[in-house]
Amino acid sequence: MVKHKLKSARASNLNDAKLGFIPIMAFLIIWEIAGRSDFVSRGLLPPFTEILSQFYELVKTGILIENLGKSVIRVLAGFSMGALLGIAVGTVMGWNKYIDKIFSPLISVLYPIPALGWLPILMLYIGIGEALPITIIFICSFFPVCYNTICGIKNVDKNYIFAAKTMGASSMTILKTIVFPLALPTVFTGLRLEAGMAWRVIIAAEMVAIPTGIGALMMKAENLIRMDIIIVCLLVLSVMTFMFERFFMKLEANLTKWK
C-alpha cells in the first residue's frame, strides 16, 4: 500500500514536471523564431541557439566561471552570516519580551531601508572591495530573516508552552525542543525569499561598484552592446536563484518531516 502511494506520488510529480516543461519549450521555440526573423535585430534579440553558443564560449574561456565563482563566494559569505545572526537575534527577541521591547523599534526603523540604499554610505566607510558586496548581502539577509524568526517564535501555540511548563520543562528546553522546531516553517520562508533576493542584490552591487562578478560582466557586455552575453548572465542568475531557493525548500522538507 505504501509503495503504491509512493509510486502514485512520483508519477504525479513527473506529470507536473512534464506540464511545466511545455510552456518553457514553447517560449524557447518562439524566442528562436523571433531571433531569426527580420522583425527583430539579432543585436537586440539573438536566437536562443546563439545564446547557448555564447554560454559555451564563456565557460570554455573561463570568463563565466571566474566571475560566477566570485559572485557565489560573496553571496555565500554575506548570506550565511546575515541569516545565522538573523536567526539568533530573532530567536532571542521572539522568546524574550523585554529584549523584544528594547530592540523592536530599532529593527522596525532599519528593516524598511532597501539593502542597496546602504551602498553609498558603505562605499564611503569601507571603500570598494570584497567587503562591500558581502556587507550588502549581510544587510539584505539579516533583517528579513530576523523578522520572520521573531514572527515564527511569537506565533507558536501557547498551549504547547504551557503544557511543557506544567511537566517541569525548563525555558531553554521548551525553546529548543518545542518553540523553535514549530517556528521553523516561518524561519525557512524568510530564508527562501532572501536566498533569491541575495542574488538580485549582489548583481546590482557588482554593476555599480565592483569590477568582478556576474553583475560586472553584465556591465562590460552592456558597454560593448553584447546582448548575447547579457542574456547569458541573466539566465545564470535565474538558475542560481532557483537552485538556492530549491535548496532551502529541500532542507525545510527534511527538517520538518515530523509535521
pLDDT tens digit sequence for 160-183: 888 888 887 788 888 888 888 888
As for how many domains the chain has, the answer is 2
Per-residue pLDDT, 80: 93
Domain co-membership, 33 together with 114: no
Residues with Cβ within 8 Å of 225's Cβ and at least 6 positions away in sequence, in order, are 43
Percent of the chain with pLDDT over 90: 25
Q: Are 56 and 147 found together in one domain?
A: yes
Cα–Cα distance measured from residue 113 to residue 17, given in angstroms and rounded to the nearest whole number: 38
Same domain, 34 and 157: no
Q: What is the pLDDT of residues 44-75, one digit of tens each?
A: 788 888 889 999 999 999 999 999 999 999 99
Residues spanned by the domain of 54: 44-255
Do 33 and 50 lie in one domain? The reply is: no
Tell me, yes or no, whether 2 and 121 share the same domain.
no
- C-alpha span between 216 and 231 (Å, rounded): 14
How confident is the model at residue 195, as a pLDDT?
84
116 and 17 assigned to the same domain: no
The mean pLDDT value of the chain amounts to 84
Q: How far apart are CA 93 and CA 25, in angstroms?
A: 48
Q: pTM for the whole thing?
A: 0.82
- Say yes or no: 8 and 128 in one domain: no
- CATH code for the domain of 125: 1.10.3720.10
Residue 187 has pLDDT above 70, yes or no: yes
Residues 208 and 128 in one domain: yes
Q: Are residues 102 and 192 in the same domain?
A: yes
Q: What is the pLDDT of residue 17?
A: 54
In this prediction, residue 23 has a pLDDT band, given cuts at 50, 70 and 90, of confident
Q: What is the pLDDT of residue 258?
A: 56
Core vs surface per residue 211-248: b (16+ CB within 10 A) or e: ebbbbbbbbbbeeeebbbbbbbbeebbeebbeebbeeb
Instruction: Return all residues near 73 (Cβ < 8 A) that are at least 6 apart.
Output: none
Residue 43 has pLDDT above 80, yes or no: no
25 and 105 part of one domain: no
What is the reported pLDDT for 15? 58
One domain for residues 117 and 72:
yes
Query: Could you read off the pLDDT of 188-235 as tens digits, one per residue?
Result: 888 888 888 888 888 888 887 788 889 889 989 888 888 989 999 999
